[in-house]
Amino acid sequence: MSLTFQVRRTAGNGRRATLTLPHGAVETPVFMPVGTQATVKAVPQQLLEALDVGILLGNTYHLYLRPGHEAIRRMGGLHRFMSWNRAILTDSGGFQVFSLSELRKVTEEGVSFRSHIDGSSHFFSPERSMDVQIALGSDIAMAFDECTEYPADRARARASLDMTLRWAKRSRDHFEKQKSSVPWGERSAFSAQRSENTAEEGQTPNLFGIVQGGMFADLRRESAERLVEMDFPGYAIGGLSVGEPRELTREMIATTLPLLPVDKPRYVMGVGYPDEIAEYARMGVDMMDCVLPTRAARHGLLFTSEGRLNIKNRQFAEDQGPADPACNCMVCRRYSRAYLRHLMAAQEPLSAVLNTLHNLAFYLETMRKVREEMAGEPIANSQ
Ligand SMILES: [Zn+2]
């Protein structure tokens, strides 16, 4: 089996489970840090391991453009290329391509777009996205979807969801034919490198389908029902956190979740603030990702048990306390707010490293607490 999902405990609508993938097992609900360009910005892989990150997200669009998916395939896949032996999920590239509003053209066949790096012309289709994700060798690939913009009227959301369903079928058909060509079998000749591939022979990547439907509850329901008929090993809820009010995000998640199979992982893409990810996990979401903790960190915004803290503030200039007194992360155990503020003011690269480490630790700890709450018993903190 290339994916198993064992629900261990439930609490209300939430559940605690073990998701086992070719590159390791992950306890859910889980937060997945975003590693856009084969790196979680500012954080070396060994520190991600020290934080107990079990699964990372990679961005297909960025890796396709640079260094190129065929180059990564030749180097044994993304795991070996970036020396990360734990699980990786890749997005389909659709979200980034659709964000290039001035640079793209959408047809039934796929999307033509220009590179944001050098303006060169490219084409992504469901088949192309599957080929790229298989070359990268992710544990979980995502179906190529159209992320419906916000606001979108009903006719637009309807047309978009219909195309996403046709693309889901094309994605699945192509993926099933090609998935065994994943570059996992190759072993590194350089044994000092921590990049031996742990996937067992015969294992293959997994493909998740994506629910769309804009902000219309009935369209979300229809999208979910038709997608479930295609029988994916897991399902994502996409097209959220695109500018809509938070209440609407919550409503769309609440509407969709009961229609997705209880014995398969459910992933909400691109959310959110710490209190949101905790809330969605309690509603029954198993997986989430967001650039917020890493991006905000580089701008000096720290998430803490006392709320958000802007480390650039003058008030911290001589503050000897940790970023978050309740946090036990490697940054809070060692460095003061005054030092973090100084690094930021002096534009030292270490500023991004330490701020990101704390924010990721805070997000991961938020999920660990939710899991613990569901377990009804303490879980060993591996930090
Ligand atoms: Zn901390």
Nearest to 88 by CA among 144, 33, 145, 51: 33
pLDDT digits (tens, 9 = 90+) for 142-187: 999 998 999 999 999 999 999 999 999 999 999 999 999 999 976 5
Does the pLDDT value for residue 46 go beyond 90?
yes
Number of DSSP helices (H) and strands (E) in the chain, helices first: 13, 17
Ligand 1 centroid distance, CA of 354 (Å): 9
Helix intervals (H) in 284-322: 292-298
Alpha-carbon radius of gyration of the chain:
20
pLDDT digits (tens, 9 = 90+) for 68-114: 999 999 999 999 999 999 999 999 998 888 888 777 899 999 999 99
Q: Which residues have CB under 8 Å from 89's CB, separation 6+?
A: 32, 55, 56, 57, 58, 138, 139, 140, 141, 142, 287, 289
pLDDT of residue 375: 73
pLDDT digits (tens, 9 = 90+) for 280-302: 999 999 999 999 999 999 999 99
pLDDT digits (tens, 9 = 90+) for 328-341: 999 999 999 999 99
Write down the catalytic residue from 145, 286, 289, 324: 289
Q: What is the mean pLDDT of the chain?
A: 94
Ligand 1 centroid distance, CA of 276 (Å): 19
pLDDT of residue 195: 52
Tokens, residue 232: 């994916």
Ligand 1 centroid distance, CA of 353 (Å): 12
For each of the domains in the chain, give its residue range(s) and CATH number, in order of start.
Answer: 4-185+203-290 (3.20.20.105), 292-375 (no CATH)
Does the pLDDT value for residue 308 go beyond 80?
yes
**289 an active-site residue?**
yes
**Sheet of strand 24-28: strand arrangement:** 4-11, 14-21, 24-28
**218 an active-site residue?**
no
